[in-house]
Chains A and B, each alone.
Chain A
Amino acid sequence: MDFQVIGKVLPRKDGIAKVCGQETYPSDVVVPHMLYGVTLRSPYPHAEILRVDTSAAEAMGAVCVTPDDVPEVIYNERTVSIPEKTYCDRRVLPRRARHVGEAIVAVAAETEEIAFKAMQAIKVEYKVLPPVLDLERAMAPGAPALYEEIYLGDQKIAVENNVACERIITVGDPEGAFARADYIVEREYELPRVYHHQMETKTAVCRPEPNGGITVWATTQTIHNVRQLLGRIFSLPLSKVNVKKLAIGGSFGSSIQMNSIIPICVALALKAKRPVKMATSREDDVYDHTKFPARIRLKVGVKKDGTIVAADMRALVDIGAHQINSYPLLGCMAGWYASLYKWGDFRYEGRAVYTNKVPACAMQGYGNPQVNFAVESHMDLIATECGFDPVKFRLKNYVGVGDEFWGQGPTVKSIIKSCGVEEMLQKGAEMIGWGQRRPPREKTGRYRRGIGMARGFHTSGTGGPKPGEVIDYSSATIKINEDGTVDVMTPVMDLGGGTGEAAVKVAAEVLKVPYERVELSRVDTKTTGYDVCTHATRGVYCGCGAVYHVAQQVKQKLFEYAGRILEENPGDLELAYAAEKGVTIIHAKGFKQKQITIGEVARLAQIYSWGTIAATDSLRQKNCPPCFVAHFVEVEVDTWTGIVRVPRAILLSDSGTPINPDMVAGQLIGSLSRGLGYALYEETEYDLESGKLKCNGFITDNKIPTVCEMPRLADIQVYFAHTYEPTGPFGAKGIGEAALNSVASALNNAIYNAIGIRFYRTPITPERVLAALEGGDRDGN
């Protein structure tokens, strides 16, 4: 395809502001007369709050909000799913603390220092309850219960054995199919809790307005869901709740839900009748959210010819103290599993369990890296045990064009229309030298190199032909200014991946306007239509899908006005970019001499009082196309120290048309770093006596890899498959989460190829590698 701006590498619209420190993040917001808020957080993993004495804090001039001061509303902070599929178990401040670090009381004062001192002066009387810190024990009979009852939508439901929710799915007759299999391979995999490590911690600023409403500046991936939920909790009409769209300093999924401090900040501001700003410290944030851990048992049945006939996956997830999105997670994990390979007849059982730990929420991949690690390690294992080539075995069984894809669990599905899997696996194998790969038994010496591969995908959005359990649509407003330049108003948050630039490029491409003449407007919830959230890798496919849809309407309006001026039927007109003059023209089809610039059309429309050339509309995508990835990596294992290095990585992606190719490559390379952390370094461990994190919330003892652990840039190769998604804006799909999903799996498979030991649990630390090498344990556990 020959595009004017799509696929071109152009400067980010926010680039100069960001590198010059001029971009406004929530933590930069300063409002006149504002107070600063901090929270008192529970030192106990499980405790009833009997009494809170705030008198000493108030004597210091502080304003305090206790559990008795917040609305009696039980909610779930993530409102992406439809209400009747949303489990609700939390209040703004709880009467019972369910994890160390849960906010119990909030304090605002003239400075953050005074607020912190006032917080220290508050006396809380606790009734300490026995905590549940182990997944198995949580489900055992007689275990202390975190909740007696919770809500599913408006329905009150009982909680038994701390099981928060579960999903069981059976397709066909797996038992019968296993009986027909020639080989059955079964293993258990375990993925840890890891912290999001987004750069920016959470900030909320709330200003009470004279009309009784509020204005909120906050760290979020969804301004509209924050607005709706604040309206509901504080019984405010939505017309009086305004949430501003600001830059976000990274999120990795940790701000899909309304952040826990946002309603606390609103409660403080409403009580103080003054603006309040709250910004969390890193330790507050580490104690606020985590990636979903998972224990996955996987059984697969295969025929001698390499055809998979049956599969069974049992997933157990320790979700911590609250349900943020565990029910949709269990569905999505089923979907990621169901959509990787044609299992034949299969079964899935997912169970989410409450424990007195930090609540788990989505983190880049939303269950996909966990499922992928199990499935892609398992595929390698089957290939080894049954004597198949790992690449050919995958090509024989993968889910591709014409197959059904579960984009968001069992209720959001669509048929795959574009797929680069075959191209990527062939190309990746060629680039890494797969043919020269030697088995582990031929490797000796201190340093042993291994080659491994894995493939994966993520959905692009959560749309589908019919409404499912997940809400998905976006809105956009586009207007042509009186000089022919263009303003794009989109509520879609850009999490740093370049969604904003993509919106500009899509509008520019439809309207044939140069990139420099299109700008993003600063918007908020009052000036934009609804967008669900930037999650599920939907920014480009869904968010920019709406921009594409609205730009087409603006184009029609342009033709209508140009038709009046040129005295032509609007249907007979065409848009073109006259590069030599640097202007966009509208001309009669097949008769270019009869033309007018769009700037002239806009100018005349104003002078003749015809009106502004603008449109606002919403769009729901009717598909959820998978963006595919493949990772071919080489590792070097130091068998004397157990240290694993990555000398070379080949990252392949099929994101349809790459609208921002530099940023697609950036996502792939950045995700290599995050996947490296997931595979080799990261885990937030608990002290099982105190319920505290061993790192105490500090990143000093919660390390992630930096550029020092990455391969040299020259040793990282990026490859884009040649695909075009017919349902996406200019053929585009997503990339953000897909980029991560098979990194850890590929590294695990490469480690096996180097030393002949397969690991079933991450992180694969030097300590564990050395223990496995010296213990002679071929299973690395």
Chain B
Amino acid sequence: MATDTRVLAAEFQYLEAHSLDEALAWLGQYGTRARVLAGGTDLLVKMKTGQVQPEYIIYIKKVAGLDYIQADEAGLRIGATTTLRKLEGCAAVKTGYSALYEAVRSMAATAIRNMGTIGGNLGNASPAADTAPPLLVYGATLKLASQAGTRLVPVEEFFLGPGKTCLAPEELLTEISLPPQGSESGSSFLKLGRVAADIAKINVAVSLQRSGRNCTACRIAFGSVAPTPIRVPEAEALLAGQEITEDLIETAAQAGAAAIKPISDNRSTREYRLKVSRVMLAEALRAAWQRAGGVL
């Protein structure tokens, strides 16, 4: 075949970074000729199938200070090389950021979650990336570092297209920070795959704030229905400042489904994605509302 996934036949220079400065120096030096390796669950597949052929591999999992989860009153800060498995086991994530917890739990199989990192999932920029919709609805900020310094980018500006991000060739994603979630907030994530251990046919995340019977703010994001994970402001606007009822949830779900433009591919069809997006969004809204303490 044109590929042989048993071997990595292409030659490359393997560089193992032990500090952020070292990694950034190499990135500055090699730029587009280099690729960053963390868990490798996406990169190695792409290398074996010939989609990317880097001359340099910069391994960053041994960089001290990129693997952490810090939860405090300022919110949640996650180091880019934190594994999905570690996020799944983190109490602060489970209790405070339900959508992120549910997203990570839904990903692949345990062996893959043991290797894969949150930074890698974002950097790979798949339209189906499961951690993206939760980060979109939490309004996460990404810290991008280079030798020139660091900059903060809202996650919404990060994804540019399938496999494309706003990361410059010399930049490295180092941290994901999520704002604190109030006591009257709730979030949820739902996903459909072909089987349980799969990439999403479609995924959706919801985060909302409650005041009494009203929703004060709401964010909704879908994955796998557009070239990048997307927010659906059309549906969000219907809910913000409104009293939440079953009818309103249905209306918002329909508006959300009407706003997406999915395609047919190996995993599902456009028609199916359009139909189930409404069902999934309604369910995700209900779950988030109830988690925020709302009743229906």
Contact = CB atoms under 8 A, between A and B. Distances in A.
Given A117-B9, A640-B279, A708-B196, A701 B4 contact: no
Interface stretch (B86-94, B140-148, B243-251, B270-278): B270-278
A283 B7 CA distance: 12
A701 B267 CA distance: 7
A640 B7 CA distance: 44
Most buried by B among A279, A282, A681: A282
A448 interface: no
B281 to A, nearest CB: 12
Contacts of A640: 276, 279
A709 B6 contact: no
A282 B8 CA distance: 14
Contact of A704 (B45, B195, B268): B195
A112 interface: yes
Nearest to B264: A767
Contact of A112 (B4, B267, B269, B279): B4
Interface string A269-287: 0000000000101111001
A640 B253 CA distance: 14
Given A701-B267, A766-B272, A774-B275, A709 B4 contact: no
A771 B276 CA distance: 11
Contacts of A681: 194-195
Contacts of A284: 1, 4
Interface string B169-210: 000000000000000000000001011111100000000000
B3 interface: yes
B13 interface: no
A703 interface: yes
Contact of B3 (A112, A283, A770): A283
Interface residues of B, number: 29
A281 B5 contact: yes
A283 B5 contact: yes
Given A767-B272, A770-B272, A282 B267 contact: no
Q: Chain B interface secondary structure, helix, strand, loop or mixed?
A: loop
A645 to B, nearest CB: 11
B95 interface: no
Nearest to B280: A641
Contacts of B45: 700
B2 interface: yes
B266 A701 contact: yes
B114 interface: no
B63 to A, nearest CB: 29
A411 to B, nearest CB: 39
B49 interface: yes
A707 to B, nearest CB: 9
Contacts of A643: 192
B4 A38 contact: yes
Given A694-B266, A703-B198, A708-B195, A113 B1 contact: no
B225 to A, nearest CB: 15
B43 to A, nearest CB: 15
Interface residues of A, number: 36
Interface in B20-56: 45, 49
A697 B4 contact: no
A705 interface: yes
A205 B192 CA distance: 43
Contacts of A771: 271-272
B271 A283 contact: no
Contacts of B194: 681, 703
A112 B7 CA distance: 7
Interface string A753-781: 00000000000001100110010000000
A478 B272 CA distance: 61
Contacts of A700: 45, 199
A686 interface: no
A101 B3 CA distance: 11
Given A117-B9, A694-B266, A281 B4 contact: yes
Interface of B: 1-9, 45, 49, 109, 192, 194-199, 266-269, 271-272, 275-276, 279-280
19 contacts: A41-B1, A112-B6, A113-B7, A113-B9, A116-B4, A283-B1, A283-B5, A641-B276, A641-B279, A697-B1, A698-B5, A700-B45, A700-B199, A701-B266, A703-B195, A708-B196, A708-B197, A767-B272, A771-B272
Pick the 5 closest A-B CB pairs, nearest first. Answer: A708-B196, A116-B9, A701-B266, A767-B272, A703-B194
